[in-house]
Amino acid sequence: MTQSTRIALIPAYKPELLLTDLLSDVREAGLQAVVVDDGGGPEFADLFRQAAEFAIVLTHPENHGKGRAIKTRLEYIGKYFKAPYTVVTIDADGQHRVSDAVRMCEAAERRLDALILGSRGAGKHPVEKPVGKRHHAVCVQPFNGIACA
């Protein structure tokens, strides 16, 4: 099997200084980072210049939201990265562990026919688990044929 390039998508709107530490950890784990500066403004320009030492940094001149930032990165990856690749999304604020991102990539590479979804605290919030299960049953299961437990 051909080795897949692992890519971390990182939306960043007014990120904290720890962004560069996160990007360093991402690179050390063997992932290529693609960050979108989602219109944080000129006060974040230096931080994004530093981030460019560790990642590809794309810029929206104004905030378009996390969804558009993800779409921008996916378009970039589709245009400039050669398949095969595995993509994982990590938040810029450090709430996701890089080791978990690597585990998500490994799971995706074992199941090429699947969309792998992770949760930091599945079941901790009473409404999330049933809503998430219902979303999976209605929106995801018909496409991948995997039943939700």
pLDDT score recorded for residue 136:
43
Right CATH for 5-112 from 3.90.550.10, 2.40.50.100, 2.20.25.90, 3.40.50.720: 3.90.550.10
Per-residue confidence at 122, pLDDT binned at 50, 70, 90?
A: low
Domain boundaries, the chain: 5-112, 119-149
Please provide the size of the chain in residues: 149
Pairwise CA distance, residues 132 & 129, whole Å: 5
What pLDDT is attached to residue 127? 47
d(CA 84, CA 43): 37
How far, CA to CA in Å, does 137 sit from each of 46, 130, 140? Answer: 44, 10, 6
**Distance between CA 31 and CA 83 in Å, rounded?**
15
- Angstrom distances, CA of residue 114 to CA of 21, 53, 75, 88: 31, 33, 20, 13
Q: Which residues contact 64 (CB under 8 A, 6 or more apart)?
A: 38, 39, 72
Query: What tokens were used for 132?
Result: 């998430």
pTM across the whole model? 0.77
pLDDT digits (tens, 9 = 90+) for 16-61: 999 999 999 999 999 999 999 999 899 999 999 999 999 999 999 9
pLDDT tens for each residue of 98-108: 999 999 999 99
Cβ neighbours around 79 below 10 Å, total: 7
Residue 1 DSSP code:
-
Please tell me the predicted confidence (pLDDT) of residue 135: 43
Compute the distance between CA of residue 86 and CA of residue 104 in angstroms, rounded to an integer. 9
